[in-house]
Structures are given as structure tokens and as C-alpha cells.
């Protein structure tokens, strides 16, 4: 009989300390494989080295296709999603989800689909709501959902979102999470066939990046939305899965509701700064053209350019407020 031997952990802001606190207290003979996703920017990550040095289990960024082993920590590398498929780890450079890569949802979702009730999902500190849909998939597949107590989390957004949307099994302070994980790895998981009809078996997006063209209704992941993708500006489909509203574009960018709002806010900020920069450049250009016209004694042309410069200055002043 299978035990809960697939442990998936996701975190964002404040996650290094939280993940380290959990991993450091896991036993060296842990009868499970542990997978960790931390939101990070591009570049080199030292998380695997930190976990190996401070914990009792070896941690590393896995290669694509690497086999799963008990007693190992698999850490997602920067700018790549980490997903599970058929007894191996897959490292894919597919579209960002919830505005980040690596994201928590692809790992959790793929673990639920591949291992069902054997999975234990853990949401730690972080902003917004990445991981909520993935944790819902784990619960739908018969797995166990653990969430850090948001009252002690550095950033309570991810824990609170998960608690609000998912029937979480355990809400725990950090110190109790490794104890619970260890206990669960010694318990027999429910049989897989009891959850074959779970919604996670028809996901809104494939985990390995093979996106259908969505020319046929069967390939469309939901109904067409009035919104557009903040990243590529393509058409978005929306679906309400497990009471969680999500959006996906043809390219494969996926957003939860909170991540969509955050992305739209960023897009508005970028648009305003572009508009302000363009107006300031218009002031500089029209002022220069006015000076050139005066130098050539084309006074009526100079006055026209001076007026356009003043108008642009007023617009720039309004945009900058």
C-alpha cells in the first residue's frame, strides 16, 4: 500500500526562511520525495545549497527527466517550471503562470494528476494566490493540504487565499509542519481509483507546455473572456474550477483572479510611465524644433511649436500626478 510519499511545497515572499525551517526538521530517513518551488527572479539560486547545508536531506536542482528518490529535496530552478510526470521530474520553460516562473500551481497540479492521494501539498508564506488552484487539485485527487498559519507568515496572502478557497486539512505554525509531514509519510494513502473523476484530470492547461491551438470547442479551456492577457495581449479564456476563477491565453499564460488584478495594475503603471516619457520627449522635440525655426527666422512656425511644447508640458504634468 502506498503512503503519502510525494511532498510538494510552495512559497514566495519570506519563503527562504520558511522553507528552511520546514526542511531542516525533516528526518534523514524520510520515506518520501520533497519538491520545493520558491518564486524567484532569473539568475542563480542558492536555495538548494542552503537547504543542504542547514537540513539533513540532500537538495539539488534536478535535471529534466531525473528519477524520483526518497530522502531527496528537488528545488525548482530559476525561470523554469518543475512538474512531475510518470516517475520523473520534468523541467520546462513554458509560459509563466500567475506572472511567475517557476510557479507553485504547475508543480502541485502535476503532482495531483500523477500521484493522487499520495501527495501532501504545503503552502507557506507568500503574496497573492499562486498555489491555491494547485492545492485544490491535490485535495480533489484525495491528497492532503497543509497551510502555514497566516498570522505568523511573513506574507499571509498565499496562505489566506488557500484557506479561503480550499478545504484545508491542517493550518499549522512552521514548527509543527515538519512533524505533520513526517507523520503523514507513515500513513497509508487512500486508493487512487476513488478519485478518478476528479476535476484536476482535465486541467485548464497542460503542464509540459504543449498548447492546443484551440480552434475547436473541445480544445478551449473555458469560455471566452472580455479580458485580454496582460503579458501578450491575446484572447483570454476563463474557467471556474473548484470555485477558483482562472484565466488562460492561447500562448499559455495563466492567471488566477488576484494575479490577474496584480498584472493589470502593473500594466497600467507601465502604460502611464510610457505615456509620461513620450510626453516629455514631445516637449523636448517640439522645443528643439521651435528653436530651429527661430534660428531660421520662421517665427510663425516657432510660435506653433512653442504652443505644442506648452500643451505637452501640461499633459505631462497631469500624467505625472
The pTM of the full predicted model, rounded to 2 decimals, is 0.79
**Over 70: is that where the pLDDT of 27 sits?**
yes
pLDDT average, residue stretch 31-59:
92
Active site residue 12: yes
Model confidence at 127: pLDDT above 90: yes
Q: Which residue has better confidence, 241 or 176?
A: 176
- Exactly one of 39, 81, 195, 200 is catalytic; name it: 39
pLDDT tens digit string along 272-312?
A: 778 778 888 888 888 888 898 888 888 888 888 888 888 88
Q: Single out the catalytic residue among 12, 45, 94, 140.
A: 12
pLDDT over 90 at 190, yes or no: no
DSSP conformation letters of 173-238: -GGGHHHHHHHHTTSBPPPGGGGTT-GGGS-SS-TT-------SGGG--SEEEEEE-TTT--EEEE
At residue 224 the predicted structure's pLDDT band, cuts being 50, 70 and 90, is: confident
Residue of 25, 34, 27, 36 whose CA lies nearest to 7: 34
3-state SS assignment for residue 297: coil
Catalytic residue (choose from 130, 140, 161, 207):
130
Confidence at residue 208, expressed as pLDDT on a 0 to 100 scale: 60
Q: Does the structure show a pLDDT above 80 at 263?
A: no
Amino acid at each position: 500500500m502506498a503512503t503519502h510519499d510525494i511532498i510538494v511545497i510552495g512559497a514566495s515572499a519570506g519563503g527562504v526562511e520558511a522553507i528552511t525551517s520546514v526542511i531542516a526538521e525533516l528526518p534523514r530517513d524520510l520515506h518520501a520525495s520533497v519538491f520545493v518551488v520558491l518564486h524567484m527572479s532569473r539568475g542563480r539560486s542558492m536555495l538548494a545549497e542552503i537547504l543542504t547545508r542547514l537540513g539533513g536531506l540532500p537538495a539539488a536542482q534536478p535535471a529534466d527527466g531525473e528519477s524520483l528518490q526518497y530522502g531527496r529535496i528537488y528545488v525548482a530552478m530559476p525561470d523554469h517550471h518543475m512538474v512531475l510526470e510518470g516517475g520523473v521530474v520534468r523541467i520546462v520553460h513554458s509560459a509563466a503562470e500567475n506572472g511567475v516562473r517557476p510557479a507553485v500551481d504547475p508543480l502541485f497540479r502535476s503532482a495531483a494528476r500523477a500521484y493522487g492521494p499520495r501527495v501532501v501539498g504545503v503552502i507557506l508564506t507568500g503574496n497573492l494566490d499562486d498555489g491555491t488552484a494547485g492545492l485544490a487539485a491535490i485535495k480533489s485527487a484525495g491528497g492532503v493540504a497543509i497551510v502555514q498559519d497566516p498570522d505568523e507568515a511573513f506574507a499571509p496572502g498565499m496562505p489566506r487565499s488557500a484557506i479561503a478557497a480550499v478545504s484545508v486539512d491542517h493550518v499549522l505554525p512552521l514548527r509543527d509542519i515538519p512533524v505533520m509531514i513526517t507523520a503523514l509519510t507513515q500513513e497509508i494513502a487512500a486508493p487512487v481509483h476513488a478519485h478518478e473523476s476528479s476535476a484536476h484530470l482535465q486541467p485548464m492547461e497542460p503542464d509540459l507546455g504543449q498548447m492546443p491551438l484551440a480552434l475547436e470547442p473541445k480544445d478551449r479551456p473555458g469560455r471566452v473572456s472580455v479580458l485580454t492577457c496582460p503579458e501578450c495581449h491575446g484572447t483570454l479564456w476563463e474557467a471556474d474550477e473548484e470555485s477558483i476563477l482562472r484565466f488562460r491565453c492561447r500562448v499559455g499564460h495563466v492567471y488566477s483572479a488576484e494575479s490577474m488584478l496584480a498584472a493589470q495594475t502593473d500594466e497600467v503603471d507601465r502604460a502611464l510611465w510610457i505615456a509620461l516619457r513620450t510626453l516629455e520627449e514631445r516637449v523636448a522635440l517640439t522645443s528643439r524644433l521651435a528653436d530651429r525655426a527661430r534660428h531660421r527666422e520662421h517665427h510663425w512656425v516657432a510660435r506653433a511649436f512653442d504652443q505644442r511644447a506648452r500643451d505637452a508640458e501640461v499633459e505631462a504634468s497631469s500624467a505625472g500626478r
